[in-house]
Amino acid sequence: MSGRPGVGKTTLAYVIANHAGFKVHYYIAEAFTLSDLYDFLQLNAVGSQPHILFIDEVHGLKKDVIEMLYPILEDFKTIKDIKLRKFIFIGATTDRFTLEKKWSPLVRRLGCKIELANYTEERYYKRF
């Protein structure tokens, strides 16, 4: 999902998690490493409920992480002796243009694109 700072991207991710009853693992993209990804996959592999991998400012992911995410999001293949179980991936960005330019294969693998905007009185009254 994309939108300006403060429009509710992180809040929406937690609303989804709360509604589904899933645990959120929150990361900032620039600090997210392959080790973090493996840790998340191992946590997701146990228990009865899938988890949510939420990466904020997803346009800042490092190349090695992106290249590992592609086959996981597309095929859920086993990696490093970790049996993958499906999970929800949510990426949020304030810079959709950079995300689409830099990581277009990732964007193509995502099932839903949501753009959030500030809620104003004018937007509210246009509905009626």
Residues 36 and 73 sit within 8 Å (Cβ to Cβ): no
pLDDT tier for residue 119 given thresholds of 50, 70 and 90: low
pLDDT digits (tens, 9 = 90+) for 20-60: 999 999 999 999 999 999 999 999 988 888 999 999 998 89
Residues 29 and 72 sit within 8 Å (Cβ to Cβ): no
pTM of the predicted model as reported, rounded to 2 decimal places: 0.80
pLDDT tier for residue 71 given thresholds of 50, 70 and 90: confident
Domain span at residue 76 reads: 9-126
108 occurs within a structural domain: yes
pLDDT at 6: 85
More confident residue, 77 or 71: 71
For residue 28, give Cα distances in angstroms to 31, 51, 58, 62. 6, 17, 8, 11
pLDDT digits (tens, 9 = 90+) for 3-24: 888 888 899 899 999 999 999 9
4 occurs within a structural domain: no
pLDDT digits (tens, 9 = 90+) for 105-118: 777 766 666 666 67
Number of domains in the chain: 1
CATH number of 27's domain: 3.40.50.300
More confident residue, 9 or 79: 9
**Residues contacting 122, CB < 8 A, separation 6+:** none
76 occurs within a structural domain: yes
1 occurs within a structural domain: no
pLDDT at 38: 92
